[in-house]
Structure formats: structure tokens, C-alpha cells
Chains A and B, each alone.
Chain A
Amino acid sequence: MSSTSSHGGAAPYYFVPGPSRWPLLAGLSMLVTMIGASAWVNDASWGPAANLIGILGTITVLYFWFGDAIKESEGGLYSQRIDHSYRWSMSWFIFSEVMFFGAFFGALFYARTISMPWLGDLDHKFIWPDYAPHWGGATPAGTVEEFRTMGPFPIPTINTALLLTSGVTLTIAHHALRAGHRAQTALWLFATIVLGAVFMGFQAYEYHHAYTELNLKLTSGIYGSTFFMLTGFHGFHVTMGAIMLSVVLYRVLKGHFTPDNHFAFEGAAWYWHFVDVVWLGLYVVVYWL
């Protein structure tokens, strides 16, 4: 391992890891994942298997990769400056996620406030004589099966409460960690993860309800497209956040982190709060408006 010149046991000025096989393996796993995905969406029989192998491969590689990083961190190789690097990187990563959601929020905005009235205006009577623009109503060609829209009550509101509460419990856990109360940290962290899981449970129930009772599907025109893609990507991010928090919980239980050095915790927490904020956006523009 080619660490930089060490200064009598203290962390090096900036620790640079030596050669590592993980990035290459992760790249190859992603190749398998993507080939599998391309085959899958085109109904090739081997697609799902290849895709799954790729994803499992990626997860395995990441497991070992993060394992290395955790070892280095716990081994005292990370200086304050590295901690700063992690902070910066997590912030910029979250910014990129914001922009990703931005694309879908933008699509919802555009489709609803620009395309929809446009499709319903006088000129478009040439093409869609019977179309009456109404968000969540019939589509221009009228080919989409009738469906009902999803309102804010009760599930989305409960979910809002759940996520907001989870933000609070997470903050309590953080305070506990800073005060050095490890058991409390674990407890509140656990509570946060449970709240996230319950959220996902409700979300799954909501989808089921949409499909079976409202006839609201991914194929329900632009309403269904934006509804499911926005809430779906959000749900995916909640899952990711919950996994991050679980890893952090595991590390807390293993005795990692100190009251002033626990970036992994904070990074996961930032991510969780970000997911929270996205939900508030969804709650307003998808369910209320």
C-alpha cells in the first residue's frame, strides 16, 4: 500500500490508496449489468440473469471496496483533509441527484402547464377534436384506459409524517453520537430505518391500490408516467438511503466512529434529508396540485 510518507504514526497529509482491483471489477460488473439490461428490455431470455449477475457483482465489489475504505479510516490513515474531501464530494453528489430529479420535475411541469393546454387549444382541434385538457383526465387520443388520480389522503400524508419524523429521529441519533451515547445512537438510528421501511411499505400499498382500485398504471398516459416515475425514483432513493443507514448502524454497533469523526454517518444523514426534501416537493406537486 503506497501511503504517503507518514509523520510518526499520525495520519499522512493526504492518504492515497495503492493499486486496487475494485474499480476495474466494478466497471466490468457494470458492463454485465448493462448488457443484461439491454437484453432484458428486448425480451432476450438471458437478459434478467445477466442483469442480476451484474448487479450482484457490483454490490459484492462495492462491499469489498467500502470495506477497504472503512479499514483505512479506522486504521487512522484519514486526516482531517480527507474528511473534508468526503464532505465536499457528498455535497456535490447530492447536487447531481437534485438535478436528476429536476429533469423529472421539469417534465411534470412542462407536460402539465405547457403541453396540456397547448394540446387542448383551438388549433389542435384539427387533431384532437374531443380533447378537453384536464390533468389526470382523458388523454388526447382517448386510448388510455380510464383511471382515477391519487390524492394526498391518507397515505401520502401519513408518509409525509413518517419521513419528517424520521428526519427528527436521525437528528436525535446524531446528537447522541456526538455526545458519545452509542446505545442511544443505535436505537434512534434503528428507529429511523424502521420509519423508512414503513414508508416503503405504505408506498407499496399505495401502488397496489393504484393498480387494482384506481386503474392508475405506469401506462396511464402522461399522468401515470410522471406519477410513477417521480414517486418510483423517490422510493428507490429511500431504499438506497435506508441501506446506507443500515450500514452505518452496523458500524455503530461494531464500535466505529468517534464523537467528532463520523463522516459516514453524516453523509448518510445528508442523503436522508435530501430524500426527505424531495418528498416534500413530490407531496406538493404530485399529490396536492
Chain B
Amino acid sequence: ADTATGTYNAATGGTGGPVAGELTLQPPATQIATEVYSLHNWMMGVCLVIFIAVFGVMFYSIFKHRKSLGHKPATFHESTAVEVAWTIVPFLIVIGMALPATRTVVGMKDTSNADITIKVTGMQWKWGYDYLKGEGEGISFLSNLSTPRAQVGAPGFEPTEKRGDNYLMEVDNEVVVPVHRKIRLITTANDVIHSWSIPAFAVKQDAIPGFVRDTWFKAEHTGIFRGYCSELCGKEHAFMPIVVRVVSDADYKVWVDGKKKEMAALADDPTKTWTIDELKTKGEKVYSTNCVACHQANGRGMPATYPALDGSPVVTGPKAEQINVLLHGKKSGKYPVEMPSWKQLSDTDIAAVITYTRNSWTNKAEENIVQPAEVVAARK
């Protein structure tokens, strides 16, 4: 499968994500994950031994001390000595379990001296990444599920496309980091609690709205690593995966250069004047990655939860209001949920999606085109 990349696969046989029929934790790709992996083995071992000992006794008794075998009941019914013994022994076992764990807990929490710091923002239902410190500083992008809806299907509708190997764990923009470097993640969220996790790194950190938390990892292998949002965050909770690509230092440089150029290009764009067809084509893509979850592909939204854009006065009326809604979100109180702000999208994307909504379905807005420059102006 195309998950098998980098040295991780060669060294561990892992794919960076789950494997069918796997009976234990994913093969570790960080020091911490290795510790967790062996902690789990240690716990399993001890529990298994206790289990066999305890139930060995029980089943022996079940088979031997039966009335049908003529066994007569004994009369003993208490003994302080054994009570003390089976209080102290488990106590010691528990200490034996907790001690090695302590070191790992402390290690997991030590986020100091990071090489690169990335801010991770959970949003309904995608992730935003901002490279804050270290090489790549300034890079910023959104990361959406890239599995097409046509592979998912819908109640009553069979999927029309064959599912790939990375069904529900592939994204349009992967997080890219260099191997053997300490990456500090700062998590936060815009709306509700999400949780950023990559099993192979043994990282799982809730992203809490209004608060920041941090965690870290240092991948020992190159490769692609996959994880899922792990805190219930609303209806698309199952559809906001996380993908990290770990590359060599050299490749990382290349990626950073490329990404910076890409961003510069995007930043330059706003001065350009687009044709309506260009905007509509681009807008459709933006719409299907960002908006369908709520407003639906047919633009009709969902009764009592998400308003229809098809026929909405905001979409068919003066464009200033719609730009405003897109940039700042909207909370009229009429719906249990609020419209998030989309200011992380590029000016072109916003202009495009607005233009798209104004010319789609039954909408034929009078002001039917919005240029990126207008969004730039509105941002000020």
C-alpha cells in the first residue's frame, strides 16, 4: 500500500496507520511511543500472570469442590493473615506497575527545547496549522479530509467510487516535519474540544477552545503517520483526520521553500482580477472542502440546524454582508450552531466561494462576482 513509505515501514513493518487484523498497539515511531508500547506489554504480562493464577485457583475449585463429586463444605470463613497478604501483595504489584510509568509521564510532559513549534487549531471539522518557531516559521495552512464523499456514500446511496487504502485518513495538506527533531505542538480550538492524535507517536492532546495546551514528539523514522480527531466534536467528528509526513532534513528544506513560494503566490493573487468562470470553478472546490459539511452540496442546509444558502437573502443580496459573514462568522441565535469565521482561508478562496454560491443552484444574485481585492479591503 502507498502508506508504506520512509524508514518507518522498513524498520517496524508499520504503515503509519492501522493495519487490518492488528492485535496490539501500532508499531512505535518515537521514543515515548516505544516506552508506551513496552509499558503496555509489561502491564499485559503482569495482568495475564495474575489472571492465570487467580482463575487457575478458581477453576481448580470449580472442578474439584463440587457437590456432585461428594465434596463436603469446609467451615473456615476468615483469616486475618491471608487478608493482609492479599492486600499487601497487590499493593506492591501496583507500585511495580506505576513506577516505570512515572518516568514516561514526566517525559511526555517535557516540551522544552523544541526545534520547531507548530500551533494546531481544531475546527469543526478540519485542522489549522501555523508554524510558529524554527525552520518553516510563518507557514500556515488548513488541512481537510481529502477522501471524496463519493467513497463514503450516504444512507440509501451506495458509494460511487472505490475506497482507497487511506479511506478517512488522508488530507489535502499534510503536516510536514523533519525527522529526529523535537516538534512542540501547541493545541487550541475555535469552537468545541477536538483532540489531535497520532498513535504511532503516542501523542494525543485535546485542543480546547480558548485555552492552549502543548505536547511534543520526535519521530525516529521518516514516513507518513496517520491519526484521527479523538474527541467528539459534532457530526463530522469521524471526518477530520490528521496526517504527518516525516522527512529528512534536506527534504524538509525543500518542502519549506515550496510551501513559502506557494503562500507567496497566494498572497500575490489578490491584485489579480479573475473572470467569473475562474472564480466559480475554484469556488466549487472551496465549497466542497469547507462548506458542504453544513450547507450541503445542494445548498439547502439542514432544517433547524444549518440555513440554506440556496435562496438566502445574504447570498442573493448585497455582497458586503456575505463577505462580512465569511470573515467574521455569524451567530444570530436562530440556529443551535454558529457560522464559523473563515478568515484563515486565502482572499482568493473567499472571493471564489462567495462567487460560487451567488451563481449556483437557483441563486442568480445581482452582484454576482466578488474579487479577491474586495476581500482584502474588507479584512482591514
A: residues with CB less than 8 A from B are: 118-119, 123-124, 126-128, 140
Residues of A within 8 A of B214 (CB): 123
Chain A: CB-nearest residue to B119? A126
In the complex the two chains form, is A124's CB within 8 Å of B186's CB? no
Determine if B303 is an interface residue (Cβ-Cβ < 8 Å): no
Instruction: Identify whether the interface residues of B are mostly helix, strand, loop, or mixed.
Output: strand
Residues of A within 8 A of B119 (CB): 126
In the complex the two chains form, is B211's CB within 8 Å of A126's CB? no
Determine if B210 is an interface residue (Cβ-Cβ < 8 Å): yes
Which residues of B185-234 are within 8 A (CB) of A? Answer: 186, 188, 210-212, 214
Interchain CA distance A173-B119 in the complex, whole Å? 66
**What's the least CB distance linking A103 to chain B, in Å?**
21
Interchain CA distance A195-B212 in the complex, whole Å? 49
Please give 12 more A-B residue pairs, beta carbons under 8 A apart, in addition to A119-B211, A123-B212, A127-B212: A118-B211, A119-B210, A123-B186, A123-B214, A124-B211, A126-B119, A126-B186, A126-B188, A126-B212, A127-B210, A127-B211, A128-B210
Interchain CA distance A126-B209 in the complex, whole Å? 12
Chain B: CB-nearest residue to A141? B210
Residues of B within 8 A of A127 (CB): 188, 210-212
Residues of B within 8 A of A126 (CB): 119, 186, 188, 212
Interchain CA distance A128-B212 in the complex, whole Å? 10
Interface size on B, residues (CB 8 A): 7
In the complex the two chains form, is A140's CB within 8 Å of B186's CB? no
Contact sample, A vs B, 18 pairs, CB 8 Å cutoff: A118-B211, A119-B210, A119-B211, A123-B186, A123-B212, A123-B214, A124-B211, A124-B212, A126-B119, A126-B186, A126-B188, A126-B212, A127-B188, A127-B210, A127-B211, A127-B212, A128-B210, A140-B210
**What's the least CB distance linking A229 to chain B, in Å?**
20
Chain A: CB-nearest residue to B209? A127
Residues of B within 8 A of A118 (CB): 211
Interchain CA distance A260-B188 in the complex, whole Å? 63
**What's the least CB distance linking B338 to chain A, in Å?**
14
Interchain CA distance A128-B119 in the complex, whole Å? 15
Chain A: CB-nearest residue to B213? A123
Which residues of B168-190 are within 8 A (CB) of A? Answer: 186, 188
**What's the least CB distance linking B15 to chain A, in Å?**
34
Residues of A within 8 A of B210 (CB): 119, 127-128, 140
Interchain CA distance A118-B208 in the complex, whole Å? 13
Residues of B within 8 A of A119 (CB): 210-211
Interchain CA distance A175-B188 in the complex, whole Å? 61
Residues of A within 8 A of B186 (CB): 123, 126
Residues of A within 8 A of B212 (CB): 123-124, 126-127
Interchain CA distance A123-B212 in the complex, whole Å? 7
Interchain CA distance A140-B186 in the complex, whole Å? 19
Interchain CA distance A128-B188 in the complex, whole Å? 12
**What's the least CB distance linking B131 to chain A, in Å?**
13
Interchain CA distance A115-B333 in the complex, whole Å? 27
Interchain CA distance A123-B186 in the complex, whole Å? 9
**What's the least CB distance linking A39 to chain B, in Å?**
15
- The residue among A118, A124, A127, A128 with the most chain B CB atoms within 10 A of its own CB is A127
Residues of B within 8 A of A140 (CB): 210
Residues of A within 8 A of B188 (CB): 126-127
**What's the least CB distance linking A250 to chain B, in Å?**
46
Chain A: CB-nearest residue to B336? A42
Chain A: CB-nearest residue to B212? A123
**What's the least CB distance linking B277 to chain A, in Å?**
40
Closest A-B pairs by Cβ, 9 of them: A123-B212, A126-B212, A124-B212, A127-B188, A127-B212, A127-B210, A140-B210, A126-B119, A126-B186
Chain B: CB-nearest residue to A121? B212
**What's the least CB distance linking B134 to chain A, in Å?**
16
Interchain CA distance A140-B210 in the complex, whole Å? 9
Interchain CA distance A5-B119 in the complex, whole Å? 76
Interchain CA distance A40-B305 in the complex, whole Å? 19
**What's the least CB distance linking B331 to chain A, in Å?**
12
Interchain CA distance A128-B211 in the complex, whole Å? 9
Interchain CA distance A41-B188 in the complex, whole Å? 31
Interchain CA distance A270-B114 in the complex, whole Å? 59
Interchain CA distance A124-B211 in the complex, whole Å? 7
**What's the least CB distance linking B163 to chain A, in Å?**
38
**What's the least CB distance linking B122 to chain A, in Å?**
13
Residues of B within 8 A of A124 (CB): 211-212
Chain A: CB-nearest residue to B214? A123
Interchain CA distance A123-B111 in the complex, whole Å? 12
Interchain CA distance A220-B212 in the complex, whole Å? 23
**What's the least CB distance linking A129 to chain B, in Å?**
12
Interchain CA distance A164-B264 in the complex, whole Å? 71
Interchain CA distance A16-B186 in the complex, whole Å? 63
